[in-house]
A and B are shown apart, each in its own frame.
Chain A
């Protein structure tokens, strides 16, 4: 190969090189603009619930994806009772600020289902009536949305047993899934904290209405006299000191979902 050919090649290359560099830089700059634009679009316009609409949409889509693997057969791992924390960590007392008399406590239940017209539209239950239902105990790793987790022990009745016993939300042992209400709404007696729960999660075999912790009646700070435990969700859904449970068709209000968190919060 002659030296001057190489020199030509080099000259052309230099030109081409410059052109290629500018072209490529322009291409990637265009890409960067595209990314910036899509980020702008993603965060534009915070909705009423503290999150932008596109982000909220994608969280809803994630929920649909997670729904593919959601099953009553997928259970939170359980542990021997001895491993449970004797004094489980506390986080938040929203809705528990006022004191209540546990003996005067009454659970208000509303059955808003239109399909099963024979059901009472509302009823009041005492703790003793709930304690009569089959008892279930679980020792699992409670997971707070903040990131910490802790093995703790809880006792109460399966939410599905509770629904079955009183024919709530259209749940019967005849198995008409299409007659079920879609959501459950739970709130504290003062209405300060409220949680919305999808029916699949309410019927999950590990979802409990708890009145015991470590085999003893619930302490006030842990939600006495009755609280929810939803092992298949972050702790924000495990509402303490339940005052009212309603079976509804539309997605109910949810304290943390209104503050930018994922409504589903499923694990």
Chain B
């Protein structure tokens, strides 16, 4: 037996879908900026293992060398990114949605079970509310990362006027590196997120569009819920 249940509030759906293209634009313009001096690499024993990014990466994604425009875009859409993120956090706080999102004391155990299930080492998914433990940890981390991007961003945008932030983060170069790593983490998050959304199926995805989710219930469970 199935029933339609409200899942995601309209505001959260908008914040989510606005963030998607804006973050993409921030990453894209960030790449334009980074390419002007793409010095980050992973080394071991004096040997370069991986360079961020190999020349082929820029060619495959057709990223032009475009520092001036990259900076302009970055410093325009940073406002949208910040305002949208701020609105999202305020909304979750005041609406009480944060209760579903912030990890609780069982979230870590729950997240481990979810992960074991997802990689095929456990049969059943553990019981969860709107979000399971892994989602709670991921969705809360990404907000903290967002705050981190804003703080490290300010540290490298105004390292003289806001030198106290820059110094607190360990200096200009360190702040830049953290800012870059946070950007990488969004891409990492995005890949996992999309894979999980595909695995969860249409019903789950549709819930992020319409706000409604079709849930299977047996009579008793439904009455208990009501």
Contact = CB atoms under 8 A, between A and B. Distances in A.
Interface string A228-240: 0001100000000
Contact of B37 (A21, A24, A76, A144): A144
A45 interface: no
Contact of B75 (A25, A58, A148, A232): A58
Interface string A15-40: 01100110111001001100100000
B160 A75 contact: yes
A167 interface: no
Contacts of B157: 267
A131 to B, nearest CB: 27
Contacts of B105: none
Interface in B29-84: 33-34, 36-37, 39, 67-69, 71-73, 75-76
Contact of A51 (B21, B36, B68): B68
A71 interface: yes
A215 B53 CA distance: 39
A10 B163 contact: no
A24 B16 CA distance: 14
Interface residues of B, number: 44
A217 interface: no
B68 A6 contact: no
Contacts of B76: 42, 55, 58-59
Nearest to B4: A13
Interface in A120-149: 141, 143-149
Contacts of B68: 50-51, 256, 259-261
Given A77-B163, A143-B159, A262 B209 contact: no
Contacts of A144: 37
Interface stretch (B85-93, B139-147, B188-196, B210-218): B210-218
Contact of A62 (B33, B75, B222): B75
Nearest to B222: A1
A90 interface: no
Interface of B is mostly: helix
Interface residues of A, number: 50
Contacts of B160: 74-76, 231-232, 266-267
Given A35-B21, A144-B37, A267 B72 contact: no
B164 to A, nearest CB: 9
B122 interface: no
Contacts of A256: 68
B17, B18, B68, B171 — which one has the most chain A CB atoms within 10 A of its CB?
B68
A75 B167 CA distance: 12
B219 interface: yes
Nearest to B66: A260
Interface string B108-121: 00000000000000
Contact of A147 (B2, B176, B211): B176
B163 A9 contact: no
B209 A70 contact: no
21 contacts: A16-B4, A17-B210, A24-B13, A24-B209, A28-B17, A31-B18, A32-B21, A55-B72, A62-B75, A66-B158, A66-B161, A74-B163, A76-B159, A141-B159, A146-B37, A147-B176, A232-B160, A259-B68, A261-B67, A262-B71, A267-B157
Interface of A: 1, 3, 6, 9-10, 13, 16-17, 20-21, 23-25, 28, 31-32, 35, 42, 50-51, 55-56, 58-59, 62, 66, 69-71, 74-77, 141, 143-149, 231-232, 256, 259-262, 266-267
Interface of B: 1-4, 13-14, 17-18, 21, 33-34, 36-37, 39, 67-69, 71-73, 75-76, 157-163, 166-167, 171-173, 176, 206, 209-212, 214, 219, 222-223
